[in-house]
Amino acid sequence: MTDLINLTISEALDKLNKGEISSVDLTRAHIEEMAKGRVLNAYITETPELALEQAKQSDERRRAGRVGLLEGIPVANKDLYCTKGVRTTAASKILSNFVPPYESTVSQKLKDAGSVMLGKLNTDQFAMGGSTLTSYFGATKNPWNLDLVPGGSSGGSAAAVGAGLCMGATGSDTGGSIRQPASFCGVTGIKPTYGRCSRYGIVAFASSLDQAGPMARSVRDCALMLQAMAGYDEKDSTVANVPVPDYTQALSGDIRGKKIGIPKEYRPDGLNPDVAAVWDKGIQFLRDAGAEIVDISLPHTKYALPVYYIVACAEASSNLSRYDGVRYTTRVEGKNLDELYENSRTDGFGDEVVRRILLGTFVLSAGFYDAYYTRAQRVRRLIYNDFVEAFKQVDAILTPAAPTPALSAEALKQMKPVDVYLGDVFTTPASLAGIPGISLPVGLSSNGLPIGLQLLGRHFDESGIFQIADVLEKQANFDKLPRRVKGE
């Protein structure tokens, strides 16, 4: 059984294709592991019966010769993805009883590819945060060390993938929520280009930034999952109508002559020495593989964090106005309708969500709109232009994914919100520019924690970054499995 939970998706598909294992075997092994791994609090809702039923159906399809791209593979969804008939909470109180009558496009596509759903994964509340500490259902723990956070907001996804509680998971990334938890938990995750995947049925945080993406234990597995998840959808007007290439075809193993940019703005004075060392190692790995390393500049990087927090909060304040205590949310009655709204929202939203609604409402208010929101949009364009210029010189950009390895939950609870936001410094620029970014584990800190590096690419060039990431992964030869948590 342990063997089954240690497989990558591609290894498992191979065994399934050869008839050595069934989807029911694979699914059962993961359900057992989920029970042992409950200490991590990675799942908000487990759906073992549903999973076994889906696994049986998958085995039948396989016998009938109908084999999807992820046929029989047990995966799980971040609890931001609406799943028909399965509670979807966004890790909030206000949606704690919400059972969607419809399925998100991306989770439907994963089903259509033959995968099996094990359950719904923990996240920061409405994906606002980088630790899962803002979840109404309690924080997830990091499988490498239970005192540490798994990162966030897709922390449940990262912890579950890292600990073998699913083979792959969906995440979502608005300002780093796939890439930073991937780094903290030693797994791989890609935020695709804005518009690559449909956002239909994914609880919205900041609509000009939100993007769906996969998290798994190898670059190849992420390529397979994204293949199934990506593509045009008439239900989301922001999804691009561009063909989805065959991502695994891109994994040629050869990156000779590729130009990799190293932006000087990502190496501030006082950068964590362990992070700097892994970054240097990554640069050397790519050089050894025949890539050309080019020093570049992304001059507006320092504005990304404030611009992100203005834009994201502004959009969140608008998106979250739909949770009113009347439709599909928890309700706290009041003397009149206004009081009902106020009571329901006060009771249903956590502190971080309230903070962002207040910030967002402020930057959008009359008299401040131009000074904050309009100006932020202008600076966003400069950040975008920095990348456009850089990609005239280089094929991809290599940076750390996060300024530190995983932090302790206790330390984070003592920090001021603004200091917590600094953790998003390396991920928000690519979010604002809408470009794809992958985070993969490349080394360990001096105290044995995973450190991920981020590879950024041109718009819609996920293939290009998969190709380079695959080589980097092989060079780094990172032990894919964090310390197991069984029985702890």
**Residue 46 vs 424, nearer CB to ligand GLN:** 424
Q: What's the min distance (Å) between Cβ of 424 and ligand GLN?
A: 5
CA distances from 354 to 92, 93, 127, 129, 348 (A): 12, 13, 13, 13, 10
Is 130 or 164 the residue whose CB approaches ligand GLN more closely? Answer: 130
- Distance in Å, CB of 312 to ligand GLN, minimum: 5
- Using CB under 6 A as the binding rule, the residues of this chain from 419 to 478 that contact ligand GLN are 424
**Please, what is the minimum distance in Å from the beta carbon of residue 128 to ligand GLN?**
5
Vertex 123: Cα angle to 119 and 126 (nearest 5) = 115
The CB-nearest residue to ligand GLN is 177
Backbone dihedral angles phi then psi of residue 295, each to the nearest 5 degrees: -75, 130
The angle subtended at Cα 465 by Cα 272 and Cα 76, nearest 5°, is: 85
CB of 127 to ligand GLN, least distance (A): 4
User: Is 177 a known active-site residue?
Assistant: yes
Q: In terms of C-beta density within 10 A (0-12 exposed, 13-18 middle, 19 or more buried), how is residue 241 classed?
A: exposed
Asked if 266 contacts 390 with a C-beta cutoff of 8 angstroms, the reply is no
| Active-site residue, from 92, 154, 172, 177 | 177
Nearer to ligand GLN, 9 or 456 (CB): 456
CB of 98 to ligand GLN, least distance (A): 19
CA distances from 455 to 220, 282, 468, 470 (A): 15, 10, 8, 11
Decide whether 115 or 140 has the Cβ nearer to ligand GLN. Answer: 140
Report d(CA 303, CA 307) in Å as an integer: 6
Which of 147, 461, 129, 146 lies closest to 312 in space, CA to CA?
129
CA-CA distance, 337 to 333, in Å (whole number)?
A: 8
The CA–CA distances, whole Å, from 101 to 87, 106, 201 equal: 10, 15, 10
Looking at 22, 23, 58, 78, which residue is catalytic?
78
Spatial separation of the C-alpha atoms in residues 420 and 416, rounded to whole Å: 6
- By beta-carbon proximity to ligand GLN, the closer residue of 163 and 203 is 203
**Residue (of 139, 241, 156, 224) closest to 190 by Cα position:** 224
Do the beta carbons of residue 143 and residue 482 sit within 8 Å?
yes
Task: For residue 218, indicate whether it is catalytic.
Answer: no
Q: Which of residues 190-209 bind ligand GLN (CB under 6 A)?
A: 205
Of 84-92, 127-135, 234-242, 369-377: span binding ligand GLN (CB under 6 A): 127-135
303-322 residues near ligand GLN, rule: CB under 6 A: 312
The C-alpha atoms of residue 464 and residue 280 are separated, in whole angstroms, by: 21
Candidate residues 37, 130, 186, 282; the one interacting with ligand GLN per rule CB under 6 A: 130
Candidate ranges 110-118, 170-178, 259-267, 324-332; the one touching ligand GLN (CB under 6 A): 170-178
Q: Using CB under 6 A, pick the residue from 29, 52, 121, 127 that binds ligand GLN.
A: 127
Of 128-136, 324-332, 365-373, 391-399: span binding ligand GLN (CB under 6 A):
128-136
Q: Which of 128, 86, 129 is nearest to 107 (CA)?
A: 86
Minimum CB separation from ligand GLN for residue 217, in Å? 21
Give the residue with the Cβ less far from ligand GLN, 174 or 188.
Answer: 174
Q: What are phi and psi of 396, to 5 degrees?
A: -155, 165
User: Known catalytic residue: 154?
Assistant: no
Q: Please enumerate in sequence order all residues whose Cβ is within 8 A of that of 101, keeping only pairs 6 or more positions apart, or say none.
A: 84
Count of Cβ atoms closer than 10 Å to residue 98 Cβ: 18
Please, which residues have CB within 8 angstroms of residue 46's CB and are 6 or more apart in sequence? 31, 34, 118, 119
Residue 294's DSSP bridge partners are 261
- Answer for which of 176, 186, 263, 443 binds ligand GLN (CB under 6 A) is 176
Q: Please state the closest distance from residue 234 (CB atom) to ligand GLN, in A.
A: 25
228 versus 353: smaller Cβ distance to ligand GLN:
353
Q: For the window 217-236, what string marks contact with ligand GLN as x by the rule CB under 6 A?
A: --------------------
What is the x/- site pattern for ligand GLN, positions 141-160, by CB under 6 A?
Answer: ------------x-------
Size of the site for ligand GLN (CB under 6 A): 13
Q: Does 174 bind ligand GLN (CB under 6 A)?
A: yes
From the candidates 58, 153, 172, 344, give the one annotated as an active-site residue. 153
The answer for residues whose C-beta is within 8 angstroms of residue 150's C-beta and 6 or more apart is: 40, 42, 131, 132, 140, 141, 142, 143, 156, 158, 159, 162, 181, 184, 185, 406
Residues forming the site for ligand GLN (CB under 6 A): 127-130, 153, 173-177, 205, 312, 424
Which residues belong to the active site?
78, 153, 177
